Chain A
Amino acid sequence: MTHSMPTEGDIYETLRLELRRGSLILAVLGHLKREHYGYTLRKALADAGVEIDEGALYPMLRRLEAQGLLTSEWREEEKRNKRFYRLSDEGRAVLGRLAAEWASLNASIGDILKGEA
């Protein structure tokens, strides 16, 4: 039996995905200050440089809604029923706290990487 060692590229890709995973929720909440349905949200995130797989996005939207951070409603647009999401009041408060945490973490990591910490 042979075990193929992961290449440096494999390791980088795994770590990159882990690094991005935690920040996706922040990006989704941040974009939903404005109303979006799933497809346009995914496109908007991709345009902003945050690619997200629909297999991850839709379950995440449902979970965030179940947690009370998002509200949604079905509406007809361009002759098709679409589910529109936006931040709830609670979601807005949580986003504010998460954004502060992100800024603090970002500053700390920045210092560490610059060797100042």
Chain B
Amino acid sequence: MDLIERYLAAVGRHLPAKASGDILGELREELLSRQEEREASLGRPLTRQDIEALLLEFGHPLVVAARYRKTQHLIGPEVFPFWLTTIQWSLGILAIVYVTLLAVAVLLGRTNADIRGVGSNIVSMAIGLFGVITLAFAAFERFGKAGFLRDWKPSRLPPPGRGSRTRATLVGEMVADVIFVLWWQGAIHFQALFPYPVHLSVALGPVWAAWHWPILVYALWEIGADVIALARPQWTRTNTAMLAGRYFYGVAILGQVFQAGHWVEVNSPILQPNVLAIIQTNFDLGMKVGIGIAILGMLLRVGLEFWRIYRRQGLAAAV
């Protein structure tokens, strides 16, 4: 009897106070009836061990009490896919951002302590992010899911087939653009990009300063277009127009830059002028090829996007 009362008290600690008396009364009756039934079948009173076995069969007090709770799960099966997708994307973006920061820290020649700091930050950030998202979805499960699950619009789903750019590509592009803008505006500086055995400085030529602001506008345009493509993938025409416009604009800028014929300034206090001239020529040749490939690549991408739209419309018309 003592064990049964102790068991019931343990169950009661996890029950809502309002219903506790009622539930415990009913459970007591069930346990005593079961005890009587077992005593009748054995033909003797139950020992302490018998009662312990009976209570073990009945279940852990926390589990027994939990069955009376109104809330049986934090995030139910309907909301779970949304939670999982959000967690995957958030942790994925966090990983990309931190890998980028780590790469920047290495390029900027930061100390090992700084790099270790980035590593330990990502763990605490990931745990924090996981907790915040889970709490938000638990609240959503309780208070907001009904309307959300009912009010979604099929017209807002992205078009079928694999898009020209995946979300990972868009996020990667955005991160790279942000770093570029920071560097372009002089907020961060890279060191030791050219690990030559001699003192050699390589700087951008004057043509880039002349096109500084148009190039900044291009990078900001790219970030804005990626944000729209991520948030509204179903806006196919807008996204294609943003992409095509951006590439045409990029081709126009690079076309002008290409005509300069001289893109980097190579200097060295110790190299002979004729050696330096050869290096300068090779760097400029590399830049010429690089800019030419970039222009061709942009034109190719624009053509590809328009071909995709043409093909998609053709397929839609056929259906």
Contact = CB atoms under 8 A, between A and B. Distances in A.
Chain A partners chain B: yes
B74 interface: no
B16 to A, nearest CB: 11
Contacts of B34: 39
A1 to B, nearest CB: 20
Interface stretch (A4-12, A21-29, A53-61, A95-103): A53-61
Interface string B1-35: 00000000000000000010011011101101110
Contact of A54 (B19, B32, B58): B58
Interface of B is mostly: helix
Contacts of B29: 37-39, 80-83
A56 B23 CA distance: 13
B26 A83 contact: yes
A80 B32 CA distance: 10
Contacts of A37: 29
A58 B30 contact: yes
| Of listed B19, B25, B26, B59, residue having the most chain A CB within 10 A | B26
Main secondary structure, interface of A, reads helix
A55 B67 contact: yes
Nearest to B58: A54
Nearest to A53: B59
Interface residues of A, number: 15
Interface string B116-133: 000000000000000000
A37 B30 CA distance: 9
Interface in B197-221: none
Given A39-B33, A39-B34, A80-B32, A58 B26 contact: yes
Contacts of B59: 55
Contacts of B30: 38-39, 42, 54, 58
A99 to B, nearest CB: 27
Nearest to A42: B30
A81 B25 contact: yes
29 contacts: A38-B29, A39-B29, A39-B30, A39-B34, A42-B30, A54-B58, A55-B58, A55-B59, A55-B63, A55-B64, A55-B67, A56-B67, A58-B23, A58-B27, A58-B67, A58-B68, A59-B67, A59-B68, A62-B19, A62-B23, A62-B68, A74-B25, A80-B32, A81-B29, A82-B29, A83-B22, A83-B25, A83-B26, A83-B29
Interface of A: 37-39, 42, 54-56, 58-59, 62, 74, 80-83
Interface of B: 19, 22-23, 25-27, 29-30, 32-34, 58-59, 63-64, 67-68
Given A54-B58, A56-B67, 5 more contacts: A54-B30, A58-B67, A62-B19, A62-B68, A83-B26
Minimum-distance CB pairs A-B, first 4: A39-B33, A59-B67, A59-B68, A83-B26
